[in-house]
Each structure stands twice: as structure tokens, then as C-alpha cells.
Structure 1
């Protein structure tokens, strides 16, 4: 499924570009995500998703396939697998930045493929969840970008980012609660699906009883 989201942050395009590539800085703003390691190109970590009483953890990697600073365009390819199941998730995320009203507009296009329990909700629900999660991320990112820095002199030329070592483990993130994030409409749909499944089960049992 393809998803498109857009948000703005109150800083220049160059500042927003550097911030979005600073994985250690923005990691706490990523709902459900925990970053274990980052070498400047590849991120290793996990994402937790809660579906009703069940929590699903995906472990995997995300690789920056493209970082075009002049065009302010980045492409991230992420893939993961359930730690206790056969479900998988894969996404190609393309982000572009542009000036808007003194700030920066960030456009994100995601080509997402999900198998397993979260896939039961379909594109409509995933889009609703995506909208709210991106909104939470944007609010958190804006707050972090507005925080004062300790630098009083112009920054030195950028150096390669240092890896995040496993000896400094990140705090585990709270799982993304699909039902709570998407709200009552999704809960209602889930109830309808459950009711339909129960009716189908009853119908099958009646047929078996009649043919017994």
C-alpha cells in the first residue's frame, strides 16, 4: 500500500535536513521504535505494535539508499520480521524537504507491505494510524528543534556520525497501540469483523450438525 504524509517544522530546510539525518537525536520521537545501532547509513533496531491484547515486535534494519543534500531528498528502505511469528514488514520511504512560510515542509511517501496480524486492518486503517503517528512525530520533532543548543560558535564542518554502540542500550519504547491510535472507528470495524467471524463459525457448526 502507498501512503502519503506531510508536516512542517519551524526551522530552515538545511537545519531540518541535518536533524532528520541525526538518528540519535530524533529516535525518541519515533513511536514504538528503539534504535540499537547506527553507523551513519544503516539503522538496526525494533518496532513494537500492539493489536488489542497482543504485542508484536518487529526487528530489522533501515538503510539510507539515497541522501541528496542539494535536492533535500532521502530514500530509506526498512525491513523487519516478527520476533515471535511469521509476519514481516517492508517499507520504502521517500522524504523531500522544501521551504514554506519561513519553515520547512516535509513530504513523506511510503510504499508499505505488511504481513501477519497488523495486516488485517487494511489500507484505510493503516492510513489513519499513519496520519496520527506522523502527527505525533512532527510535534515531537518541532519541540526538539526549538530547544536551545549549547553551541555559541558556528559549527565545525560535519563529521561522519559515530555509531551507537550496544554498550549504551536505548530505553525500550512503548508499543504503537493500533486500536487506541486509530480511535473508535477502527474499534467498531474490528468488532464487526469479530462478529462476522463468530457468525461464520456458528453457521459452519450448524451445517456440520445437520450433516452428522
Structure 2
């Protein structure tokens, strides 16, 4: 499926471009994502996705196939596989940056293929989830780009925190991210099943009534 999104950040293109390529900096803005290694072109990491009571972890890589600084255009190809299942996920993400009113407009086109449990939601719900996640990502990125640079001085206890390693990210909750639309669909499905049950019961009662009359 193909998804199209656009968001803006309140900094010029010259600042937004290197920020989006700074994977360690933007990864915390992606729910469920954790970066294990990045060499400037290939990212190795994982993404945790929660579907109801089930949490699915994908491990894989993402490779920058294109980084056109002059055109401010990048192409990222990511693929992963469930650590405890047969599900897979693959995405080709194309982003283009354009200056707009002193800030930067980011247009993102995603060609997404998902198999396994998250695929049960279908295109409509995944598109709604994508809209919410892009909005959340844009807000987080804007905050990181406008906040002061962190101090380089070592603070007490900083070394102990560093050796402890990065905190484990919270999984991306698809039901929570989709919000009301999923709840409406679930309610509609429940109503349809209830209606079907009522019809079946009525048919059975009629059938029993007919059999009773014939016996008389």
C-alpha cells in the first residue's frame, strides 16, 4: 500500500536536512523504534508493535539508497522480520524537503508491505495510524530542532547512565494509535454479529414452531 504524508518543521531546509539524517537524534521520535547500529548509510535496529495483548518485535535494517543534498531528497529502504513469527514488514520511504515561510515542508511517500498480525487491520486503519504517527513524529522533531543544544560537560552520574545503555522503547500500540476509528469498526462488527445472532435465533424459533404445528 502507498501512504502520503506532509508535515512542517520551524527551521530552514539547511538545518532540517542534516537533522533528518541524524538517525540517533530522530529515532526517539519514532514510537517503538530502537537503533542498534548506524554507519552513516545502513541502520540496524528493531521496532516493537503492540496489537491488543500481543507484542510483535521486528528486527531488520534500513538503508539510505539516495541522499541528494542539492535536491534535499532521500530514499530509505527498510525491511524487517518478526523475531517470534513469520510476519514481515518492508517499506520504501521517499522524503523531499522544501523551504516554506522560513521553515521546511517535508513530503513523505511510503510504499509499505506488511504480513502477519498487524496486516489484519487493512489499508484504512494503517493509513489512520500513519497519520497519527507522522503528526506525533513532526511535533517531536520540531521540539528537538528548536530546543537548545545539550551541554557537553559531564554531569555527576552521567557515566553510570551511559554504561547502563539506552532505555527500552515502549512498543507502538496500533489500537491506541488508531484510536476511535478502530473502536467504531469494532462496535460496528459487534453490532453486525449481534444482529446476525438475533436473525438466526428467530429462524430457529420459527422452525421449531413449524415442527410443533406439524406434530399436532
TM-score normalised per structure 1 = 0.81
Task: Identify the residue that residue 132 of structure 1 maps to in structure 2.
Answer: 132
The 1-side partners of 2:103 and 2:170 are apart by 30
The 2-side partners of 1:171 and 1:38 are apart by 17
Match of 2:66, SS?
Answer: strand
Alignment gaps of 5+ in structure 2: 152-162, 201-216
CA contact (8 A) 2:31 2:169 kept: yes
Task: Identify the residue that residue 29 of structure 1 maps to in structure 2.
Answer: 29
Which whole-Å deviations, capped at 9, do the CAs of 1:151-191 have from their partners, x for residues lacking one? 9xxxxxxxxxxxxxxx8843211111111111122123245
The 2-side partners of 1:120 and 1:113 are apart by 12
The number of aligned residues is 186
Task: Identify the residue that residue 103 of structure 2 maps to in structure 1.
Answer: 103
Task: Identify the residue that residue 78 of structure 1 maps to in structure 2.
Answer: 78
CA RMSD of aligned residues (A): 2.2
| Deviation of 1:149 (Å) | 2.5
**CA 1:28–1:97: 2 relative to 1, 3 Å:** same
Point out 4+ residue stretches in structure 1 off by more than 4 angstroms: 191-200
Task: Identify the residue that residue 179 of structure 1 maps to in structure 2.
Answer: 175
1:46-195 matches, within 5 Å, as: 46-149=46-149, 169-190=165-186, 192=188
The 2-side partners of 1:149 and 1:121 are apart by 40
